[in-house]
Amino acid sequence: MHKHCEPLPIALEPYIGESGIGFLLRLASTNGINMHKLRQLVGMTEIETFTAKYADDVFALAGLAGKDQFELLPQWTRGGGACCYGHRFRVRTMLRFRRPQFCPACIRETRRCAAHWDLSVSVVCLRHQCFLQDHCPTCRKQIRWNRPSVEWGHCKHLLAGGAFQGDVPKMLLSVQRITEDLMKKQPTDFSSVGLFCQSLSLDAWGSFLWALGVIESPYAVPTPAVITKAPSSSEARSIVLRAVTRLRSCFEKGGRFSDLAPEVAAAPLVGTILDPAGDLDRTVFLNWFGAIFGEREVAALVRRHRVLSQMSLF
């Protein structure tokens, strides 16, 4: 497909903390074109997602040729993972690049999309203390990136407005602060949710929340859709809320992690242990795995996976 290499008439730069694809939407609407046209200009097909593969071409259109904006768009990695915003994610479902969400009050005030909205475990706007949403407040249709502008939906309704009303539990606000601090690579206070660890990667934090919240009731099996695709905003909210509720209940009963075993999905924990994104992820998750499922399960895990048996873990 033919590529257009000349910069668009109006050059823009992404703001600090702005979503990569949100920036491209703002770039397109400012220049009077839509996202389909932007794809055509860089040689993409209509159904392709903007990824780091097209970063040089698409940011050249913005007048940013030669500037490193690589991390603003996702780069798919082997095994179904992705890198974006300076973080590595084991599974792409930790990113919401096909299911955007938003805070209407933020859009009204800034007319741009926040980068943390692209995270599946980001469920709250701290500024307005409201839940993030992925549907039009007027017609309830799921919003898309392929829309006229940041503030207008493809359904022709205004997305900008007042914050969605609803009581946001304080523990969810604490979880959201941790999520955003990790994304910004700032010092993080895990003690606000009763955890004590030096450091975790953003991917490990998301995996921990998924492990504690993806199972709806004790001994239940997670639905395949929750594992294979990014959740809706309401689904993500339920997962994170279940995780933080179970964590709080555990500490109220004396901090026995083993009580959580019937409600914890082992797969996200094991995945992080086998393929940690951060230096301390494996050690922290092995400790948590043992506290929840018992040291015999840890020993069995080590026996099953050579990569663990050949390393000094404790």
Distance in angstroms (rounded) separating the CA atoms of residues 48 and 107: 25
How many Cα neighbours within 13 Å face the side chain of 224?
Answer: 0
Write down the domain spans for the chain.
196-309
pLDDT single digits (tens) 3-32? 666 889 999 999 999 999 999 999 999 999
- Range from 121-125, 128-132, 196-200 carrying the lowest mean pLDDT: 196-200
pLDDT at 155: 97
What percentage of the chain has pLDDT greater than the value 90? 76
The DSSP secondary structure of 186-255, one letter per residue, reads: ----GGGGT---S---HHHHHHHHHHHHS-SSTT----HHHHHSPPPHHHHHHHHHHHHHHHHHHHHTTS
Q: What is the mean pLDDT of the chain?
A: 91
pLDDT at 252: 84
Which is nearest to 266 in space by CA: 225, 237, 303, 294? 294
Distance in angstroms (rounded) separating the CA atoms of residues 63 and 9: 9
Beta strand pairing call for 130-131 and 87-89? unpaired
Query: For residue 128, what pLDDT band results from cuts at 50, 70 and 90?
Result: very high
Residue 156 has pLDDT above 80, yes or no: yes
pLDDT at 89: 97
Residue written as tokens 């040689």? 43
